[in-house]
Structure 1
Amino acid sequence: MRTSRGWWWLSGVVVGALGLGISYLVSGLLRVRESPPVAVAESIRDISPDGLVEWAKTNLGMADKLVVWIGIFVFLTVAFAAIGQLARSRWWFAVGGLVALGAIATAAVVTRPSFVDLQLVPLVAGFVAWLVALTVITGAVRQWELVVAADDDATDPTHSRRRFFATAGAVGGLAAAAAVLGRFAGNPREEVERDRRLLRVDEVTKPTAPRGAKVDVPGVQPWQTPTDDFYLIDTTFVPPAIRVKDWVLRIHGKVQNEMTLSYDDLVARGITEDWITLNCVSNQVGGDLVGNAWWSGVRLAGLLAEAGPDDDADAVLQTSEDGWTCGTPLGPMMDDRNAMLAVYMNGEPLTVEHGFPVRTLVPGLYGYVSACKWVVDMEVTSFDEIEAYWTTRGWAEEGPVKIASRIDVPGSGESVSAGTIVCGGSAWKQHTGIESVEVSLDGGAWTPATLGRVPSDDTWVQWRAELEVEEGDHELRVRAIGKDGDVQTGVETDVLPNGATGWHSVEFSASA
């Protein structure tokens, strides 16, 4: 047998591609969000060790999902190549390999929180495509191999070789076509984007930044964060695409009155609007996982009061369409802060990535315990009765925002002119507010900064300070003092379990 084993490897890869393509196409036609590859990726996310998850968050950031996809692609390529090689001498072993891969995908699909029987159809279709393609393409390469092995001058292997390449090309072409059609067939994202374009909530207003909120320091990050620049942190591999007509929120659990709300039911209760700063518990000191926007939605306090929580309830387990959960303290959702089910961001309907059609906001709490995108379920409960996604991985049960401040100007490593320099940045402690900000040059005395004027304690505040600097290298530090008297500590701690602490500092140089 003198044909290269590489053709058997290629046969396995092409077979695998067709099955995946057919599965993806059927998922699109049936409007199944969690196609088998997505379900596998999210299962890998869920079973990954806590240490690995934290390492990925710290070192990979938003690229962590891309790394998982690359890993899955490499694994499948090697697995299908091995299956192709097994088919050369042990055809049933190759079938067993496909059964094993199908079993992994099936386990991933059926264990997802949003599993329905319909999601098994893409799996069956893909597996049948694997078996048919394996039979056809291995038959072609085997015929070619037998002709070559005969070494008969009267037998020309050209025909068999052409037949194999034609078969492999046809299977590969079908795989590519199925993938392309799956991308567009029944694409729910397109329908959702059309919903967004046509959506109108009359009470929503366009944002205008309050006069005096911005300080006159070029280079300081905007007080209002544009939606496209607002940080994105979530665990989903494919953002749920939920049409307005299909969205439903259930409020249940330890309540006197269970509630089920459609989108129209929700917005009919009246819109509240506010400037609210959000920040991620994973934000390092001086980091950029923080942003301020104009949010429009419906207050949670009224909804939960109507549901009537039991006396022993102290938490709300929120669940996203993709199965992600967070445990939110009940008190902050019902006190005087403007906790809301947000439907608009910066005067426009939420983007899909930011939680369209509805997400939760609770000022003063880190997002991992409060900011549930694509929210579809709220169970009023008690902390001692629930487990949530991040708290099972070592993060604190309740996540009140810690006081923080950041230097935007001068930038780290920047060179400035000696003499009077203007520095600036932002500080925040949502639902408490910032009383003052101070800066220190080269470890010297703390110098008060001038603060911008903000509409509430739930937003960050920009600060500005002027300093005299001599030629040479310098270090600038910043700290904030909250309206509750809390002085930002210089003790450095990591983000785990409840947010980083420490003073942000930048090193810069001054020259004549």
Structure 2
Amino acid sequence: MLARALPGAVIGLITAGLAVGAGELIAAWSGPQTAPAIAVGSAAIDLTPTPLKEFAVRNFGTGDKLVLLTGIYTTLAAIAVAAGILALRRLSIGVALVVLFGAVGAWAALSRPTSKTADVWPSILGGGVAAAAMALLVRSYQAWRGTESGGGAAESAASRLPVWARDRRGFLMLAAGTAGAAAATGFVGHKVVDQRYNVALKRSRVRIPAPATRAPAIPPGVHPNVAGLSEFITPNSGFYRVDTALVLPQVDPDAWTLRIRGMVDHPLELSFADLLARPLIEHDQTLSCVSNEVGGPYVGTARWIGASLADLLREAGVQRGADQLVGRSVDGMTIGTPIESVLDGRTGLLAVAMNGEPLPIAHGFPCRMLVPGFFGYVSATKWLVDLELTTFADYDPYWVERGWSKIAPVKTASRIDVPKPFARVPAGPVTVAGVAWATHRGVDAVEVRTDGGPWMLARLAVADTPDTWRQWTCDLALPPGLHKLEVRATDATGAVQPEQRADTFPDGATGWHSVVITTI
């Protein structure tokens, strides 16, 4: 049984590899997002139910995309094995499965909000080439096996093949050549994509002008000297990334434009040079993701530079009745923000720099939107290319369509960084430290308690601005044993972080963060 199945499995895997490789080569001209596996993966993200999305973020973090792609390639491999085995019994069935793979890829490419008709070609041509290769390999194998056994299949299969492909040596040559073609097309496709679409070089040449409005110097004392406590300013390399992009959009700053349209008196269009020529503002802001669980890692603070979003909206002229600003990414993602929050005096930015350098590609280069006080899914469009003024009644952005709240202010939250969960530390004096944030409101107090006992006020580090997190420490005296440490924060409005646990869906998690440690 295995001896019969193995040749078919090998044929299936080789032809699937050729479909993927040929598709990636063609996608070097139509765009990396149109490659069959990427197109299918992107469609899968859009179709995945919200609870499953949250499960992936919770369990795989920023590696969720790698897990998805691994799953897609594993599924493709399984289908390819089945197609190859079936093709040896009935060629039309195996070829039909290969063609179906190409059709699914074409449908997935067309399902994207920014799709074009040409986006189907990587999947269609990749599937077509693979189907032809499968037919050739199956007939060569049947001719070889039929010749050895003297069966009637030999004459039928051999009649469609050149003489050299009718024996064992010819079949192995065809299989090796097809496998080589699969590897070569995939390799060349990746190389061409890097040359045509990678904007890293252009990003390295961008020079961000000195901001007209500089942020105040970060005051001494914002970061207690405690080993293991998060840095006050999160390095770009360590800043969290949660989005739906399987491949990072590569946006050429020289060709980038931003449209401001919809319910405005004077639609605007800006180039990247136009944006950099505006008076730039430097501002510190803590950004957090709605998918961040209590005590989770999806929060960070950076020093941003950008143009005033409010000034641009005023120049465009906001029409009466407009209450939602919809930001669109180059990949079609849509994010909706209350217009009143952009115009109420807070520092909303079209950011072009992060921590002293042009925006990293992973964080939205060349331009992203930031509005303090809201979770990123309603305020922080990356790879921004379009701003439309509309109403909440008329349009639901991407995440709202999937059941998330239309308006989601950041909730008052705190986290214990030190000690780590399940740490074993010496009994006696124990320093507990962490961070708390209530973006745009600020943090006025942090309290810590041990084993359900009375709350103790922690020492707050010096505050930077209400838009950034605040660090804290608390000294405890703990006897030997197992201990549960809990933390809660109070924001500048007097609201205390609630004890009741709530999931991240639909507008952010609540609850007190706790860690269990052992003192010895």
TM-score, normalising length from structure 1? Answer: 0.93
Structure 1 residue corresponding to 2:190, chosen from 178, 183, 188: 183
Which runs of structure 2 are paired with 1:115-130 in the superposition (5 Å)? 115-130=115-130
Find the aligned partners of 1:475 and 1:84 in 2 and give their Cα distance.
57
Does structure 1 residue 468 correspond to structure 2 residue 477?
A: yes
Does structure 1 residue 418 correspond to structure 2 residue 427?
A: yes
Check whether the contact 1:30–1:186 (CA below 8 A) recurs between aligned residues. Answer: no
Aligned counterpart, 2:205: 198
Does structure 1 residue 57 correspond to structure 2 residue 64?
A: no
Change (3 A) 1:138 1:103: same
Change (3 A) 1:497 1:114: same
Find the aligned partners of 1:418 and 1:128 in 2 and give their Cα distance.
69
Change (3 A) 1:111 1:418: closer
Q: How far apart are 1:188 and its partner, in Å?
A: 5.4
Change (3 A) 1:7 1:290: same
Structure 1 residue corresponding to 2:281, chosen from 272, 295, 302: 272
Change (3 A) 1:451 1:248: same
Does structure 1 residue 382 correspond to structure 2 residue 394?
A: no
Find the aligned partners of 2:411 and 2:337 in 1 and give their Cα distance.
17
Change (3 A) 1:11 1:383: same
Find the aligned partners of 1:151 and 1:131 in 2 and give their Cα distance.
25
Find the aligned partners of 2:55 and 2:476 in 1 and give their Cα distance.
39
Task: Give the aligned residue type for 2:63.
Answer: A
Structure 2 residue corresponding to 1:168, chosen from 172, 175, 185: 175
Q: How far apart are 1:416 and its partner, in Å?
A: 2.9
Find the aligned partners of 1:105 and 1:158 in 2 and give their Cα distance.
31
Find the aligned partners of 1:2 and 1:482 in 2 and give their Cα distance.
66
Change (3 A) 1:180 1:332: same
Aligned counterpart, 2:222: 213
Q: How far apart are 1:300 and its partner, in Å?
A: 0.6
Q: Deviations over 1:331-386 (max 9, x none)?
A: 22222111111111110111111111111111110011111111111111111111
Find the aligned partners of 1:353 and 1:2 in 2 and give their Cα distance.
46
Does structure 1 residue 231 correspond to structure 2 residue 201?
A: no
Find the aligned partners of 2:267 and 2:215 in 1 and give their Cα distance.
34
Deviates more, 1:380-389 or 1:112-121: 112-121
Q: Deviations over 1:105-160 (max 9, x none)?
A: 111111211112332332343233124312322221121121122179xx9x9971
SS in 2 for 1:275: strand
Q: How far apart are 1:29 and its partner, in Å?
A: 3.7
Find the aligned partners of 1:84 and 1:404 in 2 and give their Cα distance.
54
Change (3 A) 1:468 1:310: same
Check whether the contact 1:189–1:241 (CA below 8 A) recurs between aligned residues. Answer: no
Which runs of structure 2 are paired with 1:309-328 in the superposition (5 Å)? 309-328=318-337
SS in 1 for 2:465: coil
Q: Deviations over 1:233-257 (max 9, x none)?
A: 0111111111111222111111111
Find the aligned partners of 2:193 and 2:45 in 1 and give their Cα distance.
27
Structure 1 residue corresponding to 2:441, chosen from 432, 438, 458: 432
Aligned counterpart, 1:20: 20
Does structure 1 residue 142 correspond to structure 2 residue 142?
A: yes
Q: Deviations over 1:212-262 (max 9, x none)?
A: 211132221111111111111011111111111122211111111111211
Aligned counterpart, 2:487: 478
Which runs of structure 2 are paired with 1:24-63 in the superposition (5 Å)? 24-63=24-63
Change (3 A) 1:64 1:32: closer
Does structure 1 residue 132 correspond to structure 2 residue 132?
A: yes
Does structure 1 residue 342 correspond to structure 2 residue 355?
A: no
Change (3 A) 1:5 1:415: closer
Which runs of structure 2 are paired with 1:246-257 in the superposition (5 Å)? 246-257=255-266
Check whether the contact 1:319–1:378 (CA below 8 A) recurs between aligned residues. Answer: yes
Find the aligned partners of 1:354 and 1:189 in 2 and give their Cα distance.
20
Q: Report sequence identity in percent.
A: 39
Change (3 A) 1:258 1:463: same
Does structure 1 residue 361 correspond to structure 2 residue 383?
A: no
Check whether the contact 1:439–1:476 (CA below 8 A) recurs between aligned residues. Answer: yes
Q: How far apart are 1:100 and its partner, in Å?
A: 1.9
Aligned counterpart, 2:81: 81
Find the aligned partners of 1:510 and 1:134 in 2 and give their Cα distance.
64
Aligned counterpart, 1:102: 102
SS in 2 for 1:295: strand
Aligned counterpart, 2:159: none
Q: How far apart are 1:476 and its partner, in Å?
A: 2.1
Aligned counterpart, 2:314: 305
Find the aligned partners of 1:49 and 1:405 in 2 and give their Cα distance.
29
Find the aligned partners of 1:414 and 1:95 in 2 and give their Cα distance.
57
Check whether the contact 1:207–1:294 (CA below 8 A) recurs between aligned residues. Answer: no
SS in 2 for 1:75: helix
Find the aligned partners of 1:397 and 1:433 in 2 and give their Cα distance.
23
| CA-based RMSD | 2.4
Unaligned runs of 5+ in 1: none
Change (3 A) 1:81 1:393: same
Change (3 A) 1:329 1:144: same
TM-score, normalising length from structure 2? Answer: 0.92
SS in 2 for 1:177: helix
Deviates more, 1:133-142 or 1:187-196: 187-196
Aligned counterpart, 2:161: none
Task: Give the aligned residue type for 1:330.
Answer: I
Change (3 A) 1:474 1:2: closer
Find the aligned partners of 1:258 and 1:442 in 2 and give their Cα distance.
59
Change (3 A) 1:151 1:503: closer
Does structure 1 residue 91 correspond to structure 2 residue 106?
A: no
Change (3 A) 1:166 1:280: same
- The alignment covers a number of residue pairs equal to 508
